Structure 1
Amino acid sequence: MSALALPPSAVRLTAGTFDRRRRRNRDYLVSLSERNLVQNHLIEAGIGDQLWHLKPSGSSAADRGLDRHWGWETPGSLLRGHFLGHWMSAAARETAATGDVMLRAKLDGVLDLLARCQEENGGEWVFATPPSFLRRLAEGRDVWAPQYAIHKTFMGLVDVYRDLGDERALRIAHRAAGAIAEWARGFEREKFQQILDMETGGMLEVWADLLEATGDDLYRELLELYWHGSLFDALLAGEDALTNMHANTTIPEVLGAARAYEVTGEERWKRVVEQYWEWAVTRRGTFCTGGQTSGEIWTPPFSFAARRGPKTQEHCSVYNMIRLADVLYRWGGDPAHLDYIEANLHNGLLAQQHPETGMVAYFLPLEGGARKNWGTPTEDFWCCHGSLVQAHTRIAPLAVYADDTTLTVAQYLPVRAEATASGQPVTVEVRLRDDASYVGPDANGGPGGELHRPQALRVQVTVSSAEGAAARVRLRIPEWTSSEPVVTTAASWQRDDRFLELVHPGGETAVDVEFPFVLRTVPIPDEPDTVAFVEGPIVLAGLVDREVCLEGDPAKPSTLLAADDERQWTQWLVRYRTVGRDAGIRFIPLNEVTDERYSVYFPVRPAVTP
């Protein structure tokens, strides 16, 4: 492998936008009670009456059930129980990264309840999904993706084991796998392949994780059973198996193929993953946001003009494609995968989380005059609600990678990482010089600084180790950089293609880098006179309630937009306004839009000369 992700405890976000969003997410995780999280598992185990013995006291709202989990988690919902797995995964990662004792205590309570459910069910079955749903699936009767929901419980248990070393979680998952194996073995191969055409979630990934954790050949057998021929064989044959197909049905399967390769070393799994990326991104393109999908399906290659609407860019797909890009970067070291992650962090994960409530927008609409539809704490529990709580616990490790001798700063987020290079401890700290969010009595202390907002991402990286403990440090040059980076450091450095390479001799090395940017337009490939406005990695949204045509030159954004409202206290703001219009439109980052109506894409026609 080209690079390794740092363990959760070795890398932490520091003060800034992403850490504020992580804290919002953590507060939400803590707010949910063990009773409500496990409600559907307890009901399926026949001990739903335990819910009332676990009822919190002192709340009339709780007494009337208003804090209970509804939406997709309503008892009787066909996907009931799916959210618990996401919550366990998120809580485990947050605890591993921060040592959060409250989340650890809640996790212990959840595991106690799941162990009780497993015993009540006879020692194996631990899911909120009834076994009859699997029978209905095999019979071709109406049912909604039971393996998808089952996978979530598996995923949560496995992640608790992987991130926290909790053997109890592994035992529960291992015992539960026996029930699924017995069911899967009961079909001829052709029949089971038909069953796999119904969404399986990340079952394949779980089998690979459990094979690595236990070494049990049961999981080798399950990996073979879950080879999804209609998808994998088509990809290996060089076919487009994705256009107009449900995206997040297949992305988790390919993430499973990636884990199967990492655990078994079998090249066929790797080829599946590489071909998937080829067809999903390289040969298909993305929206200006870096995301994809419309109505949860893959759009045709480079044909987006007719696919903008209220249901573009599903959050689950954004999150899982970030995971896939991370895998491929670790395997091959291609900075294009890091560029993809960057765009989707800013214009996906941030843009689809409400900055105040922490709730998710299932989709990111890209139609004219769109509005984000936010979820609620206990009344929706969409699939994307689950991927949201996981995503915001997993951002920090995307910022810094390591191998035996080299540390790579991959994303410019405020972060502190503890790693090793040549066997010696090394600390890397990344700061953003213009991410000042403090406002208070001394917020204007010090010099006023530049007259106008700097047209560059300004980063400071500090590397620390024992004297003589040398390391090589690489800094990614973003693909949007408009001219040569400006580097200020006493250390020796050079440019190597898309990276700045810095020699850290030991002690403390500081480097200040400016990555210049310009406001640019990004057209829709099949409608080149319709453009979005992007600065650095940030997509801008015009605050307008309909699609509006602008006049100017789409190749010269300065004929269309001008800087606006750029400064408050010590903070530079990303703000623009239209020029040459009777009624102006103001633009802000898409990831700052909450309840305003907005447009991202604007038709542009030549200005009329009087």
Structure 2
Amino acid sequence: MFGAAVLAVTAQTGIARAAAAGAFAPKGVKPLPLASVRLRPSDYATAVEVNRKYLHRLSPDRLLHNFRKYAGLEPKAPIYGGWESDTIAGHTLGHYLTALVLTWQQTGDVEMRRRADYIVDELAEAQAKRGTGYVGALGRKRKDGTVVDGEEIFGEVMKGEIKSGGFDLNGSWSPLYTVHKLFAGLLDVHGGWGNKKALSVVEGLGGYFERVFAALTPAQTQEVLGCEYGGLNESYAEMHQRTGNPRWLKMAETLYDTRVLDPLSNREDKLANFHANTQVPKLIGLARIYDITGDEKRRTAATFFWERVTGHHSFVIGGNADREYFFTPDTVADHITEQTCEHCNTYNMLKLTRHLYGWQPDGALFDYYERAHLNHVMSAQDPATGGFTYMTPLMTGSERGYSTVDDDAFWCCVGSGMEVHAKHGESIFWEDDAGGLIVNLYIPADVTWAKRNAALTLETNYPFAPESTLTFTKVKAGRFPVALRVPGWAAGKAVVTVNGQPAQPVFERGYAVVDRRWKAGDTVSITLPLELRIESAPGDANTIAVLSGPMVLAADLGPKDVKWEQADPALVGADLLAAFSPADAAKGIFNTRGVVRPADLQFVPFYRQYNRRSATYFKRFSESAWAAEEKAFLAEQARLKDIAARSVDVMFLGEMQPERDHNLTSEISYPVTYRGRQGRDVRSGGFVEFTLKTKDGPLILQATYWGGERKRGFDILVDNVKVATQTLDNDKPGKFFDVEYPLAEALTKGKKSVQVRIVPHDRSTAGPIFGVRLFTAKTGAAI
């Protein structure tokens, strides 16, 4: 949770604050152009440069492979691996186009522009060869397993032959999501420097899919939109803005998923169990449609969604979701796993935040933006390699997994990663229609400001040092306000000076506003107290994180190459922060003394733990509560030792060698990893079967499950005899639990082994099951 300052940003309070605004009531705010900003040395500038080199290493012709192949043209280079060799092929090229445009704007690298223009030419050739308006690289897997040009699914869809799951449409993986990425990339090239061919290609695509949806009934449209479609509604709205053609606005409004968006329009949070990143782009699209139509329902949906996600579904680093899905509001403490915080989610939440800020400027919006940008986005790139994370795990001892430039990645977060690290200068400086300047992020940079014929320099080592100074190296002298954001955690404590002398700014709407006549050589500085503070996870006051200013701190648990196999550290005591002391303030490093159990640890910036293991959330205990916790821990260890001593055989599902040792066979079943434990799930129509050793006498079959699963049912059979029907339905939120199934002695008598088979009910799934064990019953226990 991000505190009262952020939670207060609702449609109602935003309107109230606007009405009450006096000295600071900006209208028509927009960021200064990215091309006018040049970053000074910092971790942000490093990220841009590392990403620029990464973009240079990628081959446009390899990304274009399927576009040419499926158009009947000879590919010029082999295809990449990973997702680019799957049916979602082509999504990376759209991201790459956008990243090229942004990098050209942020750095002036002319090769970026040359490559983007080259790709557009290639796409135009492939589109012309097809002759339908369609151009794409996505594939389609037929029933016989062969992969072909994915365009054929759209002919089936137009005939009403629709088989749609959350991520599969007629055998293609999220095809409209992939199409949206190409739309967005082409629109960015057109917007970047007026490449008319890019607009022509995207309009051809737009017409093609207009025909697809025109063939559908409203019910069929909703069926198709049940499969992830990215922000295709936003792209159509943008096409309308670029061309003035009402066809494209009609299409933007057609792409409306009623199941998800209607509740949000009515201010109802029904996000739990929805795939998170599937939804965020839809709301960005609704925000864009509101800009054009003024439909208040669209604005309400976008603002309410932002409020709920940032205030009730997000982790301390600003990311959201567990295993890619939203969970029940205010249950963050139950979802601190190695599957938290998909990067694409935060990439899109930052886009939505910027959009909402354009409607109603409020510093609290950028409190969230800064937190997520610093702690999540900056942790998702490895500056040593340029690789990107998919998830940013918050479970104690987890390691981050970064992509490589080789053929093993190109997942969605590689695409959003190459975009977001191309544009770290885009949200620092803003202007309003009246000619005021707003500083929203304290990132060292030089900027030219056309409206005031000004050149400015922002010097800072924030968040490692408290002071930031803005210098007017050039300006057309005149009176106007300069607004410096004061984060919610610094309210009432910020100090502002002008030309080194104390100033008396107006503090309003999350800003310190200095309104005066400015001239060349003037400076304005703000000092923000970087005090340590504790934040609780939404829903659990005793699951806490430690921050310094906007920066999340983590306990350093050592290099990733050394597996963390100890108990999670806890914080114990009445005054925890008093036990922290700076070890290297310039690097944000702190020592602890006497409050970490079982031993003191050093706390460091979370985002910089690229290849190290961390603890970010901690259970907080009083001394007496910790003593009781130790007793409970020891009791659980004794229970596990007793079961281990009575075990006949143990099956570690999801692990290669144990599955081979137990002769596992399966269909439509997949290994999973969750909260540090391996397991396996089975999808509808599939099964998993394996052998367990046995012995005579009363035996108990035990299976381990996660307590927060959505509703599902399945059968467990032993040697083809059903021994149990198991239903999972959020039985024990926040923890793993064991279920015991006593076996009739006749099932195992005289046998050396038995076959265990797990079968999901129709249209359901089984598990995931995190291990199966067969052990003897205690003497005298009833079976």
Q: TM-score, normalised by structure 2?
A: 0.69
Give 1:278 shift. Answer: 3.0
Amino acid at match of 1:409: V
> Match of 2:507?
496
Give 1:493 shift. Answer: 4.2
Question: How many pairs does the alignment contain?
Answer: 565
1:223 aligns to 2:262 (yes or no): no
Instruction: Tell me the SS of whatever aligns to 2:413.
Output: helix
Amino acid at match of 1:51: K
Residues 551, 607 of structure 1: 8 Å contact kept: no
Residues 552, 604 of structure 1: 8 Å contact kept: yes
1:27, 1:247 → 2: CA distance? 31
Amino acid at match of 2:389: A
Residues 269, 308 of structure 2: 8 Å contact kept: yes
Instruction: Tell me the SS of whatever aligns to 1:397.
Output: coil
User: How is 1:514-525 mapped onto 2 (pairs within 5 angstroms)?
Assistant: 514-525=527-538
User: How is 1:521-536 mapped onto 2 (pairs within 5 angstroms)?
Assistant: 521-536=534-549
1:549 aligns to 2:564 (yes or no): no
> Match of 1:579?
593
Give 1:516 shift. Answer: 0.6
Instruction: Tell me the SS of whatever aligns to 1:80.
Output: coil
Amino acid at match of 1:495: V
Which residue of the other structure, out of 201, 207, 211, is the alignment partner of 2:240? 211
Distance 1:434 1:300, change over 3 A: closer
> Match of 1:117?
126
1:433, 1:306 → 2: CA distance? 35
Instruction: Tell me the SS of whatever aligns to 1:155.
Output: helix
* Structure 2 portions without partners, runs of 5+: 1-26, 139-149, 164-169, 558-563, 628-783
Q: Residues 317-342 of structure 1, C-alpha deviation per residue, up to 9 Å, x if partnerless?
A: 01100111111111111211100000
Distance 1:40 1:50, change over 3 A: closer
> Match of 1:484?
493
Instruction: Tell me the SS of whatever aligns to 1:471.
Output: strand
1:23 aligns to 2:32 (yes or no): no
Amino acid at match of 2:589: R
Distance 1:583 1:280, change over 3 A: closer
Amino acid at match of 2:525: D
Amino acid at match of 1:598: S
Between 1 and 2, higher relative CO (CA 8 Å, sep ≥ 6) is seen in 1
1:181 aligns to 2:204 (yes or no): no
Which residue of the other structure, out of 455, 459, 464, is the alignment partner of 1:427? 455
Instruction: Tell me the SS of whatever aligns to 1:516.
Output: coil
Q: Residues 413-450 of structure 1, C-alpha deviation per residue, up to 9 Å, x if partnerless?
A: 11222225xx5323332111468xxxxxxxxxxxxxxx
Q: Residues 528-581 of structure 1, C-alpha deviation per residue, up to 9 Å, x if partnerless?
A: 22221111111112122345333433653123x332244xxxxx1111223126
1:186, 1:381 → 2: CA distance? 33
Q: Residues 335-383 of structure 1, C-alpha deviation per residue, up to 9 Å, x if partnerless?
A: 1110000000111110111121121111111111111011111320010
Instruction: Tell me the SS of whatever aligns to 1:428.
Output: strand
> Match of 2:728?
none
1:177, 1:516 → 2: CA distance? 51
Give 1:466 shift. Answer: 3.9
Q: Residues 477-497 of structure 1, C-alpha deviation per residue, up to 9 Å, x if partnerless?
A: 012227522222248641323
Q: TM-score, normalised by structure 1?
A: 0.88
Moved more, 35-44 or 478-487: 478-487
Residues 443, 462 of structure 2: 8 Å contact kept: no
Give 1:148 shift. Answer: 0.4
Instruction: Tell me the SS of whatever aligns to 1:178.
Output: helix
Which residue of the other structure, out of 539, 548, 563, is the alignment partner of 2:582? 563
Give 1:525 shift. Answer: 2.9
Amino acid at match of 2:232: M
1:391 aligns to 2:420 (yes or no): yes
> Match of 2:438?
408
Moved more, 249-258 or 495-504: 495-504
> Match of 1:592?
608
User: How is 1:6-45 mapped onto 2 (pairs within 5 angstroms)?
Assistant: 6-45=32-71
> Match of 2:332?
304
> Match of 1:463?
472
Residues 236, 272 of structure 1: 8 Å contact kept: yes
> Match of 2:748?
none
Distance 1:316 1:551, change over 3 A: closer
Q: Residues 149-182 of structure 1, C-alpha deviation per residue, up to 9 Å, x if partnerless?
A: 1111111101111122111100111112111111
Residues 31, 431 of structure 2: 8 Å contact kept: yes
Q: Residues 71-100 of structure 1, C-alpha deviation per residue, up to 9 Å, x if partnerless?
A: 0001xx121110000000110122133331
Amino acid at match of 2:136: F
> Match of 1:445?
none
Amino acid at match of 1:501: V
Q: Residues 212-243 of structure 1, C-alpha deviation per residue, up to 9 Å, x if partnerless?
A: 11111220220231122222222122222311
Give 1:142 shift. Answer: 4.1
Asked which structure has the greater CA Rg, the reply is 2
Residues 66, 75 of structure 2: 8 Å contact kept: no
> Match of 1:98?
107
Residues 485, 516 of structure 1: 8 Å contact kept: yes
Amino acid at match of 2:460: L
2:350, 2:253 → 1: CA distance? 26
> Match of 2:172?
143
> Match of 1:375?
403
Which residue of the other structure, out of 75, 88, 111, is the alignment partner of 1:50? 75
Distance 1:271 1:604, change over 3 A: closer
2:43, 2:452 → 1: CA distance? 31
* Structure 1 portions without partners, runs of 5+: 53-64, 436-453, 567-571
Amino acid at match of 1:578: T
2:89, 2:462 → 1: CA distance? 44
Which residue of the other structure, out of 518, 527, 535, is the alignment partner of 1:506? 518
2:357, 2:326 → 1: CA distance? 22
1:265, 1:167 → 2: CA distance? 29
Residues 488, 512 of structure 1: 8 Å contact kept: yes
1:340 aligns to 2:364 (yes or no): no
1:274, 1:393 → 2: CA distance? 27
Structure number having the greater strand percentage: 2
Which residue of the other structure, out of 55, 72, 79, is the alignment partner of 2:88? 79
Residues 554, 614 of structure 2: 8 Å contact kept: yes
User: How is 1:282-301 mapped onto 2 (pairs within 5 angstroms)?
Assistant: 282=311, 284-301=312-329
Give 1:199 shift. Answer: 0.6
Instruction: Tell me the SS of whatever aligns to 1:460.
Output: strand
> Match of 2:289?
260
Residues 569, 615 of structure 2: 8 Å contact kept: no
Distance 1:70 1:473, change over 3 A: same
1:175, 1:461 → 2: CA distance? 46
